[in-house]
Structure formats: structure tokens, C-alpha cells
Structure 1
Amino acid sequence: MTSYDFIIDLLYPLELRQRKMFGVDAYYIEDKMVFALREKNHNIIDNGIWIATTKQHHQKLKHTFKTIKPIETIGIKSWLMLPASSDIFEYEVQLLVHLIRMRSPLIGIIPKSQISKK
């Protein structure tokens, strides 16, 4: 649990599945991974909500979210994050929730492990 798992409440009644990934809690809607929550005492620069996306969507997401940035401490280059330290974090989480609810193509990836099962 994190201090910003309120995003789960905001997404109700969508059915979210939770799985561990890189020591964080990743959340799926159907077969798409949409975000992960990270709150650790080390490398706090990466605490926040990690957004599952692809590089082709980075520019549009940077226009939508003022504080969005790359994840710095691990090698995921396609994902972006909303830093929990931001003054507008809760507002931007609400924007993210809106995009997820609208099934925006900017948010979510189907992990390779899921693709190979099909």
C-alpha cells in the first residue's frame, strides 16, 4: 500500500488486477498494464505513479501533464511517471484516471508475456 493508492478508489468500479513488478505494485485492466504505484525510502525521486505507455505517446502525454517525467533509477525507457512530490500530484492523478476511464490509447501496454500467451 502507498499513500497515493487513492487512484484505485478513483477508478472504481473498473476491475483492476494487481501484480508485483520490479518491487512495485502494477495494475492491469483486462490484459493491459496501465500503471504502477511506487513509494520507497530509497531513490525517492521515482516515487509516484508510473504510467505504462510507449515512446510514441510521450509528446502528447507531456502536453497533458505538467510534471510528467521519465523514471530515473531503473531502465524502463518507455514508461513515464507522475512524481508524488509534485504540488499538483492529486490533480494530475485525476487527469490520468480520466484517460484510463476513457480507454485512451496513450495509456496502457500489453506485456510481451501476455502477447505470447495468445
Structure 2
Amino acid sequence: MPKVIPFDFVFDYLPHNVVTKSMFGMQYIYLGTKLMLMLRKSVKEVEMNGVWVATAKEHHQSLEKDIPAMVGYVLDNGEIYESNWRLIKDDRDDFEEAAIKVCELIARSDPRIGKLTKKAPL
């Protein structure tokens, strides 16, 4: 039985030619050779559930200004884990609205979102 893709409403706002690939219990969304998003919904480590946005550190500030719900991942000790990813947690009141805004940015080819990969997923 195929696994249900979490937060599948995002596909209503993404370009139709995105490709989804399941890895490590998560759904990775690609547009061409760019990794754009990761969708995660698990009973383990629920604080990591939500829509993960592939970006670069130099874009964090401007993206967080445009979408305040987008944050870094906070470790158990309260420290922010610095990575290129940003997270929109699924327990936020504005989760769906923020996820839709990210998808709209992707649909408009916003250069701040996406990480180039070596090749398109199969």
C-alpha cells in the first residue's frame, strides 16, 4: 500500500512538473534538478514535522521576513541548528498559509528557494 503524502495541499500551489521522491520516511519535492521542499510527518520527533524549505543561509533573513513562520530547527538544548534548510512547523496556526506562500514563491521561480542537485530524480 502506498504511503500517504503529508500536506498534499501543497501540490495545488506548486508547478505541475514537480517530482516527488520518498526517502527516509519523508517526501522530497524536486523541480527539475533542484530540490525544493521536504514534507515530513512522523510520530517520532514530532517537533521536526512540517514543510522543510531548501535554501541557502544568505537567504534566511529575507525569507523569514516574507514568511515569519519559517524558522531554523531548534535543538533540545535550545540552540538553533544552522543549516541551509528552514522549517515551517505543522503545529503552527499559520502553517498552511505559510506553506502556500512558499509554494507560490517556487511557482514564481524565486531564486532564494531550491538546492541544485547533480541530476533530476528518477
TM-score using structure 2 length: 0.81
- The Cα shift of 1:67 comes to 1.6
What corresponds to 1:84 in structure 2? Answer: 90
Unmatched 5+ stretches in structure 2:
76-80
Q: Percent identity?
A: 28
What corresponds to 1:60 in structure 2? Answer: 62
TM-score using structure 1 length: 0.84
Alignment of 1:64-75 (within 5 A): 64-72=66-74
Is 1:19 the counterpart of 2:25 in the alignment?
no
More helix by share: 1
Unmatched 5+ stretches in structure 1:
none
- The Cα shift of 1:97 comes to 1.4
Distance in 2 between residues matched to 1:19 and 1:52, nearest whole Å: 15
Give the match's secondary structure for 1:8.
helix
Is 1:10 the counterpart of 2:13 in the alignment?
yes
Provide the aligned length of Structure 1 versus Structure 2.
111
What corresponds to 1:41 in structure 2? Answer: 43
- The Cα shift of 1:71 comes to 3.0
- The Cα shift of 1:76 comes to 7.1
Give the match's secondary structure for 1:6.
helix
Stretches (4+) displaced over 2 A:
20-23
Distance in 2 between residues matched to 1:72 and 1:2, nearest whole Å: 25
Q: Please, what is the CA RMSD of the aligned residues? A: 1.9
Relative contact order (alpha carbons < 8 A, sep ≥ 6): 1 or 2 greater?
2
Q: Which amino acid aligns with 1:63?
A: K
More strand by share: 2
Distance in 1 between residues matched to 2:113 and 2:16, nearest whole Å: 15
User: For residues 44 and 106 of structure 1, do their structure 2 counterparts lie closer, same or farther at Cα, with a shift above 3 Å needed?
Assistant: same
